[in-house]
Amino acid sequence: MKSNHQTLLRDRAYVGGEWVASLSGETFEVRNPATGELVGTVPHMSAEDVEHAITSAQRAFDEWSERTATERAGPLRKWARLIVDHADELAAILTSEQGKPLSDAKNEVIFAASFVEWFAEEARRTYGDTIPAARRNMSFTTVKEPIGVTAGITPWNLPSAMVTRKAAPALAAGCTMVLKPAEHTPLSALALCALAERAGIPPGVLNVVTADRSAAEAIGRTLTSSEAVGKLSFTGSTSVGKILSAQCAATMKRVSLELGGNSPFIVFADADLDVAVSSALFAKFRNAGQTCIAPNRFLVEASVHDEFVARMLKAMESLKLGDGTEAGVTLGPVISEEALRKIERHVENALELGASLLAGGKRAQRKGNFFEPTLMSGITESMAMSCEETFGPVLALATFSDERELIARANATRMGLASYLFSRDASRIYRVSRALHAGIVGINTGMIATEVAPFGGYKESGVGREGAREGIDEFMETKFLCQAFSA
């Protein structure tokens, strides 16, 4: 581990304001996906450890929720400032456990801080309503109240931003939280806790429990079955989201689910091709293709297909694959050997079914989980990479020639998270963007995530929204005060 991020690196979990080992004393290792080197060791916790964390969160709830919104906003704002001040250290930790290039890791850390700052502000705007009463001598009002103890489960692909996108609105609303980060990336979550502690967020308000994959199911079950937990906010795969959602039904827990995508990236012949190509490069190869909003199906109007390919190949020459700590690297490793095998399987399947390989297509000749930036054409709907997220640096092209047929194809998936549309025709932009079944439409841009706008999916891409004013509502109940008064 490099000395520049020693201060925030933790080897304990954070429960009840204490840095704790697991009750069993067991630990697990976190390894660098670019080098295989050991980055850190953290507690391997069990259901019993999680029960303790839930109790801590319950104990902390009354004092935290009784604070005014302004009183909660103070330490949250301080937390946001500390995250920005320590962005370099946090980015170094993030890159060492997740692999993305340092500059991308720093962008993610700043993005993570933006949620804390935003929700510190939103805490003061959780207004209820005064409703014109439907009966005489009565007053009708609503107030928003925090749900209580909440649970968060986060993935490895955005190990800082997914933590704050859940914890910040929960805490701002007056809830407390028990959060379990992914097995591959617990260190970023713990480093954020170290700063939350410094910011004065009281003990028990935010708790992070860590475990390797073997305990994920048991921890999930403990969080979802607990009557003390009022809400689960989960980001991860649709398959796990369905399991957790079903488990939450038994106690009628509120759920927010940010799940997988299968985003179409649509390029009409009238688009500015330079904009479409640079947006594709950013949206597809950022984080080595491992984002839920990464375009998965490129649909390019047939008349500009060859031109798009030529410009894309040229643009891809700018990608530099390597260890995220090396200068100039823009494409890091994928997270694991398992992830590499999935990408290989998708590429092989597409080639067997008649696709063409235009660049890349195999593991890079170096140590670590690296896959070459890949461009393929001739993709059809029956290929695996059209049906599920490839989650790797593979840009897969298909063509279309008719707008109606295009919309039907773009929507022919059970996923509905993001979509991208490139055109210069205002009417077409309006028509197509309204017709796409997705929670987010990027129009002539590949940059679509921001703390100020709602993020979430249609269909099996999820339930609820994160960020924006909607994000804090997900952690609040609406209470109707129906009062009679004497005339």
What is the signed CA dihedral for 243, 465, 461, 347, rounded to 10 degrees? -110
CB-count burial class (<10 Å; 0-12, 13-18, 19+) for 68: exposed
Q: Which is nearer to ligand NAP, 15 or 418 (CB)?
A: 418
Out of 29, 48, 85, 217, point to the residue binding ligand NAP (CB under 6 A).
217
User: In angstroms, what is the minimal distance from the CB of 177 to ligand NAP?
Assistant: 14
User: In angstroms, what is the minimal distance from the CB of 450 to ligand NAP?
Assistant: 13
| 387 lies in the site for ligand NAP, by CB under 6 A | no
Which residue among the candidates 89, 97, 197, 258 is catalytic per the annotation?
258
How far apart CA 465 and CA 458 sit, in angstroms, is 10
CB-count burial class (<10 Å; 0-12, 13-18, 19+) for 331: buried
Interface segment toward ligand NAP; rule CB under 6 A; list 65-73, 238-246, 273-281, 296-304:
238-246
Q: Tokens 């929720």 appear where?
A: 65
Interface segment toward ligand NAP; rule CB under 6 A; list 56-64, 98-106, 213-221, 309-317:
213-221
Amino acid identity for residue 357 in this structure: L
What character string, x for contact with ligand NAP (CB under 6 A) and - otherwise, covers 280-299? ------------x-------
Q: For the chain, how big is the Rg over CA atoms in Å?
A: 23
How far apart CA 334 and CA 98 sit, in angstroms, is 8
Q: Which of 464, 108, 462, 451 is nearest to 260 (CA)?
A: 462
Q: Judge contact between 232 and 475, C-beta under 8 A.
A: no
The verdict on whether 338 is a catalytic residue reads no
How far apart CA 19 and CA 9 sit, in angstroms, is 12
Amino acid identity for residue 372 in this structure: E
Q: Which is nearer to ligand NAP, 237 or 349 (CB)?
A: 237
| 155 lies in the site for ligand NAP, by CB under 6 A | yes
Q: Show the DSSP H helices in 318-393 as ranges.
A: 337-352, 384-387
How far apart CA 196 and CA 88 sit, in angstroms, is 17
Tokens found for residue 2: 């490099």
55 to 74, contacts with ligand NAP by CB under 6 A? none
Out of 355, 398, 417, 440, point to the residue binding ligand NAP (CB under 6 A).
417
Q: Which is nearer to ligand NAP, 55 or 233 (CB)?
A: 233
Tokens found for residue 50: 């999680």
User: In angstroms, what is the minimal distance from the CB of 155 to ligand NAP?
Assistant: 4
Q: Which is nearer to ligand NAP, 151 or 304 (CB)?
A: 151
Q: Judge contact between 39 and 30, C-beta under 8 A.
A: yes
Q: Which is nearer to ligand NAP, 113 or 300 (CB)?
A: 113
User: In angstroms, what is the minimal distance from the CB of 53 to ligand NAP?
Assistant: 15
User: In angstroms, what is the minimal distance from the CB of 331 to ligand NAP?
Assistant: 18
Q: Which is nearer to ligand NAP, 158 or 205 (CB)?
A: 158
Tokens found for residue 105: 């890791």
256 to 275, contacts with ligand NAP by CB under 6 A? 258-261
Q: Which is nearer to ligand NAP, 216 or 357 (CB)?
A: 216
| 152 lies in the site for ligand NAP, by CB under 6 A | no
Apex 389 CA angle, 385 and 395, nearest 5: 60
How far apart CA 64 and CA 51 sit, in angstroms, is 20
443 to 472, contacts with ligand NAP by CB under 6 A? 462
- Residue 150 forms beta bridges with which residues? 177, 231
- Number of residues interacting with ligand NAP: please give it, by CB under 6 A: 27
Out of 220, 332, 368, 393, point to the residue binding ligand NAP (CB under 6 A).
220
Out of 1, 243, 319, 387, point to the residue binding ligand NAP (CB under 6 A).
243
User: In angstroms, what is the minimal distance from the CB of 157 to ligand NAP?
Assistant: 5
- Residue 131 forms beta bridges with which residues? 140
User: In angstroms, what is the minimal distance from the CB of 287 to ligand NAP?
Assistant: 10
| 235 lies in the site for ligand NAP, by CB under 6 A | yes
Q: Judge contact between 184 and 369, C-beta under 8 A.
A: no
CB-count burial class (<10 Å; 0-12, 13-18, 19+) for 413: buried
User: In angstroms, what is the minimal distance from the CB of 280 to ligand NAP?
Assistant: 18
- Residue 297 forms beta bridges with which residues? 264
Apex 277 CA angle, 335 and 391, nearest 5: 20
Q: Tokens 């599920």 appear where?
A: 388
| 183 lies in the site for ligand NAP, by CB under 6 A | yes
CB-count burial class (<10 Å; 0-12, 13-18, 19+) for 145: middle
Q: Which is nearer to ligand NAP, 179 or 410 (CB)?
A: 179
User: In angstroms, what is the minimal distance from the CB of 101 to ligand NAP?
Assistant: 18
Residue number with the shortest CB distance to ligand NAP?
220
Run of H or E including 218: helix 216-225
347 to 376, contacts with ligand NAP by CB under 6 A? none
| 168 lies in the site for ligand NAP, by CB under 6 A | no
Interface segment toward ligand NAP; rule CB under 6 A; list 237-245, 296-304, 322-330, 426-434:
237-245
Q: Which is nearer to ligand NAP, 243 or 412 (CB)?
A: 243
Q: Which residues bind ligand NAP (CB under 6 A)?
A: 153-158, 180, 182-183, 213, 216-217, 220, 235-237, 240, 243-244, 258-261, 292, 389, 417, 462
Q: Tell me which residues are annotated as active site.
A: 258
